[in-house]
């Protein structure tokens, strides 16, 4: 009891020996986790290490198998997120939970509608409150805007507002920077600073070291469900933290030899295509990818990258222009035919296009090779061969948990990505299109993916990298094309490019001033 009162003074959150098991899999193993009031605390760990699991318990999504949770020194039993919210805990998930056609205010009110007589919504009141909160924390959110019309970064700020509106004192942000551009990440940093200045406590779940260094004061590292330690961020370097997280030394820059590019493997000529709303998305795209090089497409999200990849994989019709692959005009080829010709693609949305969530890992690993030997003989699946293949790739790509019978939907994002990567690379394609291949991955996994992409390049295949992450682009690319409003505005050799120059070109060239 005494101890509890003591910690009330210091800790906003204390989790003691929290263990969470799912079946025979232990996601959290006797984890002690303490967050001081008013601090920014980072929860660091690889994908599948158990960070989100730990925080989901603090948010009342599921109860611990054993162990206790204290909020402001008081032992709590959180049966649902509602309990957690009542205790002042708010969580912003990786996937936002917003109603697209609703306005910002309507979304924030949802579930907490303040209604007057006859149950008429008192929206004006909520609107004022949202406006006040937004300006107080410097969120610059327009409470009247519709969710479908605002950027992802803005949507994230709406989620933060939603927590604040519900009286959150402790904010958990799950991978908040995964979807943001460098400028937006900086802005988020300012917001987090404003929050703690007003006495809020912030927990950031992340695996991005640079942001921890920038934003957090203390950091707790979890590896494979076990706590490695809690450290002051200022006292550790990025590579120290990376080593704690992964359990071995990690190199950030990709080691690679100069490209030995060969003949052209992919060529686009004046490609025009429409987006889902029927508006022009690609306006005469032209570029070549050569064998033995990584060509990166740099650009701000929404400038036609998604449509470009869909045009290349055959999922989106071309209005005019043509695509040549290995010398053939493949403009009208079906996706299946392109795959047979040696085109592989890591899609940007792994849940939507990359995996069949209800299939096992083993089944997901043969999606393109379902009809090929040895997995299929005369149309009959060879389950043993499929299983062998899966176990081989699980080991080689370190997919966790290492069970080929697990459903893909039960894996963490990073491990899902590994499944896709394993599948696409081991098919030994002629051209690999990698669309945001490391989005949401941790340093260990990113290092791995990057090495693999370089390896594919070194084998004399073509690699087309579409990334929103400038660091990644600069690490990996041999040549860079900048896409802006559906046009290629610049083609650069790696040596000519730097962050500043690319940033300018991505924003529409010199017209937008420095």
Partner 1 sequence: MSNVKRGVLSASPIFRTLFSVFTGLLVGALVLFISGYSPLKAYRVIIDGIFSKPSYISYTIIYATPLIMTGLSVAFAFKTGLFNIGAEGQFIMGALGAALAGAFVSLPPVIHAIFAATAGIAAAALWGGIAGYLKARFGVNEVIATIMLNWTALYLNNYIVNLPGIKRPAATATAFILDSARTEVLPLWKISEAGKLWRAAHPVWQDILRTPLNVGILVALIGAVLCWWLLNRTTLGYELRAVGHNLDCAEHVGIDINARMICSMAIAGGLAGAAGAFHVLGWTRQAAELAAMEGLGFDGIGVALIGNASPIGCIPAGLLFGALKYGGSKLQFALRAPIEVINIVIGSIIFFVSMPKLTQIVAQRLKRRRLGRGEPHVG
Q: How far apart are CA 135 and CA 153, in angstroms?
A: 16
Cis ω before 101 (30° cut-off from 0): no
* Site for partner 1 contains 339 (CB under 8 A): yes
Q: Is residue 371 a contact residue for partner 1 (CB under 8 A)?
A: yes
Identified binder of partner 1 from the candidate list 138, 189, 335, 342, rule CB under 8 A: 335
Give the position of tokens 């410097």.
Answer: 138
Nearest distance, CB of residue 152 and partner 1, angstroms: 20
72 contacts 12 by C-beta, under 8 angstroms: yes
Question: What is the CB neighbour count within 10 angstroms for residue 429?
Answer: 20
Strand, coil or helix: 385: helix
Q: How far is the CB of 191 from partner 1 (least distance, A)?
A: 34
Distance CA 266, CA 331 (A): 12
- 293: which residues sit within 8 A by CB, 6+ positions away? 259, 261, 457, 462, 463, 478, 479
Decide if residue 79 touches partner 1 (CB under 8 A): no
Region from 81-89, 292-300, 338-346, 469-477 binding partner 1, contact rule CB under 8 A: 338-346
166 binds partner 1 (CB under 8 A): no
Q: How far is the CB of 345 from partner 1 (least distance, A)?
A: 7
357 binds partner 1 (CB under 8 A): yes
24 or 495: CB nearest partner 1: 24
CA 484, CA 132: separation in Å to the nearest integer? 36
Of the pair 236, 316, the CB lying nearest partner 1 is at: 316
Residue 299 Cβ, how far from partner 1 at the closest point, in Å? 22
Residue 135 interacts with partner 1 (CB under 8 A)? Answer: no
Q: Does residue 38 interact with partner 1 by CB under 8 A?
A: no
Q: Which of residues 299-318 bind partner 1 (CB under 8 A)?
A: 313, 315
Q: Which is nearer to partner 1, 358 or 512 (CB)?
A: 358
Bridge partners of 128, per DSSP, are none
DSSP string computed for 72-109: TTEEE---SHHHHHHTTEEEE-SS----TTSBHHHHHH
- Please, what is the Cα angle at 146 between 142 and 150, to 5 degrees? 70
Q: Does 336 contact partner 1 by CB under 8 A?
A: yes
Examine residue 373 and tell whether it contacts partner 1 (CB under 8 A): no
Regarding 347 and contact with partner 1 (CB under 8 A), the answer is yes
The span from the CA of 469 to the CA of 467, in Å, is 5
| Least Å from the CB of residue 54 to partner 1 | 22
Among 154, 381, 489, 491, binds partner 1 (CB under 8 A): 381
**Directed axis angle between helix 413-426 and helix 383-396, to 10°?**
110
* Residue 345 interacts with partner 1 (CB under 8 A): yes or no: yes
Q: Which range of residues in 6-14, 55-63, 224-232, 349-357 is near partner 1 by CB under 8 A?
A: 349-357
23 binds partner 1 (CB under 8 A): yes
Q: Which listed residue (114, 334, 405, 428) binds partner 1 by CB under 8 A? A: 334
Among 338, 389, 450, 461, binds partner 1 (CB under 8 A): 338
Q: Name which of 254 and 315 has its Cβ closer to partner 1.
A: 315
Residue written as token pair 């300006």: 135
- Residue placing its CB nearer to partner 1 in the complex, 211 or 310: 310
278 binds partner 1 (CB under 8 A): no
User: Residue 153: enclosing H or E segment and its boundaries?
Assistant: helix 152-165
Cβ neighbors of 281 (< 8 A, separation 6 or more) are: 273, 274, 275, 304, 307, 486
Choices 269-277, 321-329, 365-373, 430-438 (CB under 8 A): range interacting with partner 1 = 365-373
144 near partner 1, rule: CB under 8 A:
no
Q: Is 417 in the site for partner 1 (CB under 8 A)?
A: no
In order, the DSSP letters of 424-474 are HHHT--SEEEEESTTTT--HHHHHHHHHHHHHHHHTT-EEEEEES-HHHHH
**Paired tokens of 252:** 């950030």
Question: Which CB, 345 or 468, lies closer to partner 1?
Answer: 345
Residues that bind partner 1 (CB under 8 A): 23-24, 313, 315, 334-340, 345, 347, 352-359, 363, 367-368, 370-371, 376, 379-381, 383
């Amino acid at each position: 009891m005494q101890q509890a009162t003591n910690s009330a003074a210091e800790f906003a959150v204390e989790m003691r020996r929290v263990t969470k098991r799912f079946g025979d899999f232990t996601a959290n193993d006797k984890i002690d986790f303490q967050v001081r009031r008013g601090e920014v605390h980072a929860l660091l760990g690889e994908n599948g290490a158990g960070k989100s699991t730990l925080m989901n318990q603090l948010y009342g999504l599921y109860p611990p198998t054993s162990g206790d949770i204290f909020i402001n020194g008081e032992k709590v039993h959180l049966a649902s997120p509602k309990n957690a919210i009542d205790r002042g805990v708010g969580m912003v998930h990786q996937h936002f939970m917003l109603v697209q056609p609703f306005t910002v205010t309507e979304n924030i009110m949802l579930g907490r509608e303040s209604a007057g007589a006859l149950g008429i919504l008192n929206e004006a009141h909520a609107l004022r409150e949202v406006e006040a909160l937004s300006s107080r924390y410097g969120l610059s959110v327009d409470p009247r805007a519709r969710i479908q019309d605002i950027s992802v970064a803005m949507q994230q700020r709406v989620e933060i507002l939603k927590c604040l509106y519900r009286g959150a004192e402790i904010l958990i942000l799950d991978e908040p920077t995964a979807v943001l551009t460098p400028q937006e990440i900086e802005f988020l940093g300012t917001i987090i600073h404003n929050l703690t200045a007003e006495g809020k406590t912030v927990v950031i779940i992340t695996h991005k070291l640079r942001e921890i260094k920038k934003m957090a004061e203390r950091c707790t590292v979890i590896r494979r469900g076990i706590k490695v330690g809690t450290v002051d961020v200022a006292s550790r370097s990025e590579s120290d933290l990376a080593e704690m997280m992964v359990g071995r030394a990690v190199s950030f820059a990709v080691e690679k030899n100069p490209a030995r590019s060969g003949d052209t493997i992919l060529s686009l000529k004046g490609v025009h295509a429409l987006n889902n709303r029927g508006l022009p998305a690609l306006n005469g795209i032209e570029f070549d990818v050569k064998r033995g090089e990584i060509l990166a497409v740099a650009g701000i999200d929404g400038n036609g990258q998604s449509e470009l990849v869909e045009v290349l994989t055959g999922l989106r019709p071309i209005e005019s222009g043509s695509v040549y692959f290995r010398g053939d005009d493949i403009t009208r080829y079906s996706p299946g035919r392109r795959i047979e010709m040696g085109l592989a693609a890591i899609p940007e949305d792994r849940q939507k296009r990359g995996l069949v969530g209800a299939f096992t890992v083993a089944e997901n690993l043969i999606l393109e090779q379902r009809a090929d030997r040895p997995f299929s003989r005369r149309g009959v699946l060879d389950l043993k061969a499929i299983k062998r293949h899966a176990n081989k790739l699980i080991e080689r790509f370190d997919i966790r948990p290492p069970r080929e019978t697990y459903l893909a939907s039960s894996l963490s994002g990073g491990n899902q990505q590994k499944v896709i990567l394993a599948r696409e690379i081991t098919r030994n394609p002629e051209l690999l299109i990698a669309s945001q291949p490391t989005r949401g991955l941790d340093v260990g996994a990113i290092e791995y993916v990057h090495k693999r992409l370089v390896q594919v390049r070194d084998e004399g295949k073509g690699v087309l990298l579409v990334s929103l992450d400038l660091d990644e682009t600069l690490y990996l690319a041999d040549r860079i094309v900048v896409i802006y409003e559906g046009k290629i505005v610049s083609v650069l050799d790696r040596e000519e490019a730097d962050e500043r120059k690319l940033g300018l070109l991505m924003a529409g060239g010199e017209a937008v001033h420095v």
